[in-house]
């Protein structure tokens, strides 16, 4: 966490200049509007779009009395928050019951069989759909069964031992929301033209499962290129950063000099800027003390930071994780990031990583264009310095506003998205999945071919049977991206 040491005299002068009469008076604030007061002052201080909202202007009120009169016009914290939020801003949040904990987020887990799958329509039989196995989670119940990536299924056996064929109106009930613990799948052969029962039944049992961060890792020797392959399976929260660091040590010990990060099964979200800076140092390591990315806040905050703590506006390549363990660095010049999947464009944290590394090494984006989310958010509490100390205990509201945008060392940003170096098929072909981690996997095979030849104009045959995909279990698990989180001590600019 970047330390910002307050300079009381400078701060008082700054607030007097900016907040003309908006400091709290010695009189007690009307209790009925104390949350509205906190919301307004927090957004006035740190909301990225503060200067675009007339009612957040420092010149809007000339006295506390005028401000309190304005606040009294709102019957709830939600009403004032919504009135002050920019129409195009879908990221900022008002949280009614915040939780403060130094503990990490819970590890990702679920009650599952361990089979990830997709559903597509059988184009030859009306109202019939076919399921396929996209992959099996390691050490899950499904991993002990006779089922694997690329297998097909057409129906289930219900609790009354009836055969139920998959239809568009029943597949969710049969495959996703079924109440029993055991899923009895009826398997089939499918060649893109005809579906045939193969007389195999696979019984899958739901169990509690904790998802590993890394689904698969391997090294490919391509002559002078020793390519590490990391199939990532989770979010990029601090929960899993030690696992990623351990994987990098394994790659380092195997003399890896180029790296593939495959995000086709990642779920996004739960990412902070510090975590991405640590991953950037794992990939590189030769740029210690160099600027990785910069922050740009609203005019009020930016001015204070530039005058008092300019170093707080930049993040440099770290050499240690937050637990003070050493980062295992590969010193690479080329990294390949796979963003494959229907409508999957990675996450805001992925974009931050890619954009920040671009001035230093060759970052090859393979698959989809990214969304263009260069925003950073912060948590504000009703306390003297908006942090978790001396919080007002009269309510449990907090505010998580968009507060900044990110730029790389060369002042480049990515609000319009990042175009892929190589466009891949938007989704995997169920009839040609191959084996994960092997050249037979068409997606990985194409990427390895690009690494070997440098040819970005690869000829792909995508969905040759024009299958209509209607469900993918990975997409259903992806978390709505809430932006990249910044954890930073803040000066009191709004009270």
As a whole number, mean pLDDT of residues 78-93 equals 95
Given a contact cutoff of 8 angstroms between Cβ atoms, the answer to whether 348 and 285 are in contact is: no
Q: Mind listing the domains of the chain with CATH numbers?
A: 8-95 (no CATH), 109-210 (2.30.42.10), 214-460+479-485 (3.90.226.10)
pLDDT digits (tens, 9 = 90+) for 374-403: 999 999 999 998 998 899 999 999 999 999
As a whole number, mean pLDDT of residues 189-202 equals 93
> Residue 16: what pLDDT?
40
Give the sheet arrangement for strand 398-400, strand by strand: 93-95, 398-400, 380-381
Given a contact cutoff of 8 angstroms between Cβ atoms, the answer to whether 387 and 381 are in contact is: yes
pLDDT digits (tens, 9 = 90+) for 99-123: 886 656 778 899 999 999 999 998 8
Of 227, 211, 208, give the one whose Cα is nearest residue 219: 227
Predicted TM-score (pTM) of the model is 0.90
Strands (E) located in 1-108: 93-95
- Please give the Cα distance from 256 to 316 (Å, whole number): 24
Q: Assess whether pLDDT exceeds 80 at residue 145.
A: yes
- Please give the Cα distance from 132 to 118 (Å, whole number): 5
- Please give the Cα distance from 126 to 465 (Å, whole number): 16
Residues of the chain with pLDDT > 70, as a percent, come to 92
pLDDT digits (tens, 9 = 90+) for 283-326: 999 999 999 999 999 999 999 999 998 999 999 999 999 999 99
**Residue 27 pLDDT grade (very low, low, confident, very high; cuts 50, 70, 90):** low
Q: Assess whether pLDDT exceeds 80 at residue 33.
A: yes
**Residue 344 pLDDT grade (very low, low, confident, very high; cuts 50, 70, 90):** confident
Q: How far is CA 251 from CA 41, 255, 282, in A?
A: 49, 6, 11
For the chain, the average pLDDT equals 89
pLDDT digits (tens, 9 = 90+) for 436-454: 999 999 999 999 999 999 8
Q: Is 310 helix (H, G, I), strand (E, B) or coil?
A: helix
* Ramachandran area for residue 350 (φ above 0: left; ψ -120 to 50: alpha; else beta): alpha
**Residue 479 pLDDT grade (very low, low, confident, very high; cuts 50, 70, 90):** confident
- Please give the Cα distance from 354 to 461 (Å, whole number): 28
- Please give the Cα distance from 90 to 27 (Å, whole number): 36
Given a contact cutoff of 8 angstroms between Cβ atoms, the answer to whether 445 and 439 are in contact is: yes
Beta strands 375-377; 484-485: pairing state: parallel
Residues of the chain with pLDDT > 90, as a percent, come to 70
DSSP code of 239? Answer: G
- Please give the Cα distance from 280 to 126 (Å, whole number): 50
């Amino acid at each position: 966490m970047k330390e910002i040491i307050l300079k009381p005299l400078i701060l008082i002068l700054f607030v007097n200049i900016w907040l003309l009469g908006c400091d709290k008076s010695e009189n007690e604030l009307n209790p009925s509007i104390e949350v509205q007061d906190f919301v307004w002052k927090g957004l006035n201080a740190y909301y990225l779009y503060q200067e675009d909202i007339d009612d957040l202007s420092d010149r809007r009120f000339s006295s506390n009395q005028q401000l309190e009169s304005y606040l009294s016009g709102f019957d709830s914290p939600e009403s004032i928050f919504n009135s002050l939020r920019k129409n195009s801003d879908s990221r900022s949040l008002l949280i009614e019951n915040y939780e403060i904990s130094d503990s990490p987020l819970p590890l990702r887990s679920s009650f599952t069989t361990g089979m990830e799958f997709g559903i597509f329509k059988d184009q030859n039989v009306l109202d019939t759909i076919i399921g396929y196995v996209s992959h099996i989670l390691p050490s899950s119940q499904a991993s002990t069964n006779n089922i694997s990536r690329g297998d097909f299924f057409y129906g289930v056996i219900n609790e009354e031992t009836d055969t139920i064929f998959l239809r568009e109106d029943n597949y969710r009930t049969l495959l996703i929301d079924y109440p029993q613990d055991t899923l009895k799948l009826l398997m089939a052969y499918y060649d893109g033209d005809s579906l045939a029962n193969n007389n195999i039944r696979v019984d899958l049992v739901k169990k509690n499962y904790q998802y590993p961060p890394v689904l698969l890792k391997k090294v490919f020797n391509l002559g002078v290129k020793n390519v590490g392959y990391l199939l990532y399976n989770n979010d990029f929260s601090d929960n899993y950063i030690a696992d990623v660091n351990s994987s990098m040590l394994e790659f380092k010990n195997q003399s890896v000099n180029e790296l593939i990060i495959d995000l086709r099964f990642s779920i996004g979200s739960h990412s902070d800027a510090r975590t991405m800076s640590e991953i950037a140092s794992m990939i590189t390591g030769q740029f210690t003390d160099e600027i990785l990315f910069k922050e740009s806040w609203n005019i009020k905050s930016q001015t204070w930071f530039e005058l008092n703590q300019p170093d707080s506006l930049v993040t440099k390549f770290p050499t240690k994780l937050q637990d003070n363990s050493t980062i295992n660095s590969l010193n690479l010049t080329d990294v390949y990031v796979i963003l494959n999947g229907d409508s999957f464009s990675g996450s805001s944290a992925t974009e931050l990583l890619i954009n920040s590394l671009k001035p230093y090494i060759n970052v090859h984006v393979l698959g989809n264009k990214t969304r263009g989310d260069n925003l950073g958010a912060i948590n504000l509490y009703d306390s003297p310095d908006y942090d978790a100390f001396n919080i007002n205990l009269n309510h449990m509201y907090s505010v998580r506003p968009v507060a900044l945008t990110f730029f790389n060392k060369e002042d480049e940003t990515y609000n319009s998205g990042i175009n892929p170096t190589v466009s891949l098929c938007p989704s995997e072909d169920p009839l040609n999945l191959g084996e994960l981690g092997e050249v037979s996997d068409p997606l990985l095979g194409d990427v390895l071919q690009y690494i070997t030849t440098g040819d970005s104009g690869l000829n792909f045959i995508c969905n040759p049977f024009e299958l209509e995909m209607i469900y993918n279990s990975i997409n259903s698990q992806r978390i709505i991206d809430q932006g990249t989180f910044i954890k930073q001590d803040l000066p009191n600019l709004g009270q």
